[in-house]
């Protein structure tokens, strides 16, 4: 049995005591050569350096005990093989499997009962969708699918919101360098009409495909934007069913072959924020990069899923990041995590992780429906370096608020187009800044001038790879997805529902009813009063 709550874990009291004398990164010689070499773990193409975290051997031993007593790896394996884990015992809930990993498990041996279990059907369903996608890409490439005058499609617009936008957008931008010539992807998510108008203006609609994504087929913002976009196509004299593709749940209101050029399925056991390796991300990534590069992306994610079965925290990168995050959040009091990629290609990656982490682990009850005594998920935010250094690093370095940081870097740039200025290349300057920030936050700086004192002891990790390729991106995505799942297991919360987004939807629909009916259900409701005061009605 896994421990019920964090305070019940065998390691909890030990970690509380250790937090009172956490490793001092500012001590002279703290970041020694031996420490920086020892506090490093590798998996796949990723290297993780965590000598700049406030841990020592005793802390690492206690964190291993924390992972073992919570049975974090056993629970991950249970998720992987298709056990029902999206549930709250004794309460109405989604009560279903969590199988975003099944999409990557198409590369697995289906006879591996230990790791496949009840997920066989999900893996077969994923393979069927991949086969449909492969065929679709080949038909576009051959010209079997083209516009009404036989020209190839050059652009694709994704219409979705939340997990149907953030993940695909982040990964497309990260891998845009690998896009095929004359293939571009655009995104419409906000129900603000300016978002759709600005995206469509300037596009040659005759050469444009549109992918509409909604699992339920009833997401109001997405259906509104779909109607907006479809109206543009109709006004241009273009048949919507020859340009529009949908990704939806089988049997949903959108599952209508007469309305769409192609339909791809997403499944209820894949949460939106974990769906980028499914058809949600697959359609746009395969269109832009080509099907084989999308497969490379999936293979990278699969490698990290396999690494997540290691029980030793120093060999399991997502689990190592998870326990370090719990240490920082619950024992050292860091409420936020800044994800700081030193790569412009990852400009929207922090935004995706913000949803993935905060929608998953921003919970106040455990899996038995009881109120938690400890805090869960951190506030996740971030921007690419070095831009962020000129924006918010001042606070990270000198504020009393201690912000834990994940730095992400690459030895080589994607385009490998660079030159020396004042003796160094741009990539060398980028990585010099990356290392300087990691070390500077950890060690701090003393001075007789109080304005120039840097307290240090700002915990951070450094994640490095050779170059940001489709496979490395898959590893990096799954690294964070699995880290988030591990933290949920340790906190004994359900990371796979999102009740917190429902209340706002209910209230918004009540306000919309006031617009459509011309009068409120309750003239004394706060929403109606605000509508009147703001001049909205």
Catalytic residues: 359, 390, 505
Asked if residues 367 and 493 have their Cβ atoms less than 8 Å apart, the reply is: yes
Rounded-to-integer distance, Cα 282 and Cα 285, Å: 5
Tokens of 268: 């209820």
Instruction: Provide the 8-state DSSP code for 372.
Output: P
Rounded-to-integer distance, Cα 119 and Cα 129, Å: 15
Rounded-to-integer distance, Cα 208 and Cα 410, Å: 34
Instruction: Provide the 8-state DSSP code for 365.
Output: B
Tokens of 284: 């746009």
Rounded-to-integer distance, Cα 88 and Cα 90, Å: 6
Rounded-to-integer distance, Cα 44 and Cα 381, Å: 26
Which of 219, 212, 218 has the alpha carbon at shortest distance from 241? 212
- Residue 247 parent element (H or E): strand 244-249
Which of 323, 370, 324, 349 has the alpha carbon at shortest distance from 477? 349
Q: What is the DSSP string of 313-348?
A: TTT-HHHHHHHHHHIIIIIS---EEEEEES-GGGTT
Q: Cβ contacts of residue 154 below 8 Å, gap of 6+?
A: 182, 183, 184, 204, 207, 208
Proportion of the chain in helix, strand, coil states, percent, rounded to 5: 50, 15, 35
Q: Cβ contacts of residue 133 below 8 Å, gap of 6+?
A: 264, 279, 282, 283, 286, 291, 294
Which of 141, 126, 178 has the alpha carbon at shortest distance from 301? 126
What's the farthest any 2 CA atoms get from each other in the chain?
75
**Dihedral over alpha carbons 308, 312, 317, 323 (to 10 degrees):** 100
**Dihedral over alpha carbons 79, 82, 85, 86 (to 10 degrees):** 110
Asked if omega into 386 is within 30° of 0 (cis), the reply is yes
The beta strand positions in 250-302, using DSSP E, are 262-266
How many CB atoms sit inside 10 A of residue 527's CB? 16
Q: What is the DSSP string of 85-145?
A: EE--TTS----EE--GGGGGGGGS-TT-HHHHGGGHHHHHHHHHHHHHHHHHHHHHHHTSS
Asked if residues 160 and 280 have their Cβ atoms less than 8 Å apart, the reply is: yes
């Amino acid at each position: 049995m896994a421990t019920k709550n964090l305070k019940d874990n065998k390691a909890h009291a030990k970690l509380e005591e250790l937090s009172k004398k956490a490793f001092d990164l500012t001590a002279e010689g703290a970041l020694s050569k031996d420490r920086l070499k020892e506090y490093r773990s590798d998996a796949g193409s990723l290297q993780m350096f965590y000598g700049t975290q406030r841990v020592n051997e005793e802390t690492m031993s206690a964190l291993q005990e924390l992972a073992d007593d919570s049975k974090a790896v056993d629970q991950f394996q249970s998720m992987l093989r298709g056990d029902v884990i999206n549930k709250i015992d004794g309460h109405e809930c989604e009560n279903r499997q969590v199988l975003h990993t099944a999409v990557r498990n198409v590369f697995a041996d289906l006879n591996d009962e230990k790791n496949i279990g009840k997920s066989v059907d999900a893996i077969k369903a994923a393979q069927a969708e991949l086969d449909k996608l492969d065929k679709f890409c080949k038909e576009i490439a051959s010209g079997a699918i083209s516009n009404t005058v036989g020209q190839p499609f050059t652009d694709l617009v994704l219409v979705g919101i939340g997990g149907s936008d953030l993940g695909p957008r982040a990964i497309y931008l990260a891998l845009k360098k690998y896009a095929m010539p004359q293939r571009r992807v655009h995104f419409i998510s906000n129900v603000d009409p300016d978002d759709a108008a600005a995206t469509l203006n300037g596009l040659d609609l005759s050469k444009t495909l549109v992918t509409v994504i909604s699992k339920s087929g009833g997401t109001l913002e997405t259906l509104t934007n779909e109607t907006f976009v479809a109206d543009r196509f109709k006004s241009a004299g273009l048949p919507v069913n020859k340009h529009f593709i949908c990704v939806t749940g089988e049997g949903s209101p959108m599952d209508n072959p007469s309305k769409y050029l192609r339909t791809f399925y997403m499944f209820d056991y894949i949460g939106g924020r974990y769906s980028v390796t499914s058809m949600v991300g697959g359609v746009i990534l395969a269109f832009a990069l080509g099907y084989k590069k999308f497969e490379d992306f999936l293979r990278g994610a699969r490698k990290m899923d396999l690494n997540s079965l290691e029980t030793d925290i120093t060999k399991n990168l997502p689990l190592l990041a998870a326990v370090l995050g719990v240490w920082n959040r619950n024992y050292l009091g860091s409420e936020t995590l800044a994800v700081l990629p030193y790569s412009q290609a990852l400009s929207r990656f922090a935004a995706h992780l913000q949803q993935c982490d905060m929608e998953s682990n921003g919970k106040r009850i455990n899996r038995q429906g009881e109120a938690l005594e400890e805090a869960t998920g951190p506030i996740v935010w971030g921007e690419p370096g070095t831009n962020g250094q000129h924006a918010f690093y001042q606070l990270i370095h000198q504020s009393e608020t201690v912000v834990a940081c994940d730095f992400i870097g690459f030895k080589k740039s994607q385009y490998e187009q660079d030159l020396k200025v004042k003796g160094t290349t741009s990539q060398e300057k980028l990585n010099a800044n990356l290392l300087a920030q990691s070390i500077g936050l950890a060690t701090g700086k003393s001075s007789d001038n109080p304005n120039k004192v840097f307290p240090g002891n700002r915990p951070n990790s450094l994640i490095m790879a050779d170059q940001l390729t489709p496979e490395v991106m898959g590893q990096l995505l799954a690294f964070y997805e699995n880290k988030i799942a591990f933290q949920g297991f340790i906190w004994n919360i359900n990371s796979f529902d999102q009740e917190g987004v429902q209340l706002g939807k209910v209230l918004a629909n009540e306000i919309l009813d006031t617009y459509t009916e011309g009068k409120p259900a309750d003239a004394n409701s706060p929403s109606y009063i605000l509508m009147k005061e703001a001049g909205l009605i």
